[in-house]
Structure formats: structure tokens, C-alpha cells
Amino acid sequence: MSFVTNILLIYYRGRKFEKEITLDYLTKLNNGYDQFSQEMSKKTIVFQVDWNTFLNTEELWNNYIIPEFKKSKQPRLISVPN
């Protein structure tokens, strides 16, 4: 899901402990995940999946993950869908 979608879901759920999470913290967390993905993609294949598009993990596995592994096992970052 997008960063904005995640923010909206947190606030719409109405959980008190989640409402106390600051936007600054969530922004830093999101940036940390992006940096981590970039660093890991130098060592292994990293898939960034748009879960707004994929709700079915079998479809994701069969149509994207397996074909990407068959192409090459070189470290890289793959955004799904492209």
C-alpha cells in the first residue's frame, strides 16, 4: 500500500494507541524501509509489491516472483507491478 493509504488506515481505524503515532515517526519509518530495500537489493532480489493491486498471493507468486527468479538470480530491486 502507498504511504498515504497506510496513514489514512491508521487514523480511520480509530485505535487510540495508533492515533498517538506522529506523522514524523511514520515518515522516518517509511524512509528507513525504502533505504533498507535499496541496501538489500545489492545483495539479493527484493520485491516491492503494490498490495493495492495484488490481493491474491498465488497470482503474485506465479505471475511475478517465479518468472523473475527464472530470468536471473542477480541482486536487484523489482517493483510489482512494473
Q: What is the pTM of this model?
A: 0.69
Positive or negative torsion for Cα 30, 34, 39, 41: positive
Query: With contact defined as beta carbons under 8 Å apart, do 41 and 75 qualify?
Result: yes
Round to whole Å and give the CA distance between 4 and 73.
Answer: 32
pLDDT averaged over the chain?
Answer: 86
Per-domain residue ranges of the chain: 1-38, 41-82
Query: With contact defined as beta carbons under 8 Å apart, do 10 and 20 qualify?
Result: no
- pLDDT grade for 10, boundaries at 50, 70 and 90: confident
Q: Which residue, chain included where needed, has cell 530470468?
A: 71
Torsion of CA 12, 14, 10, 23, to 10 degrees: 110
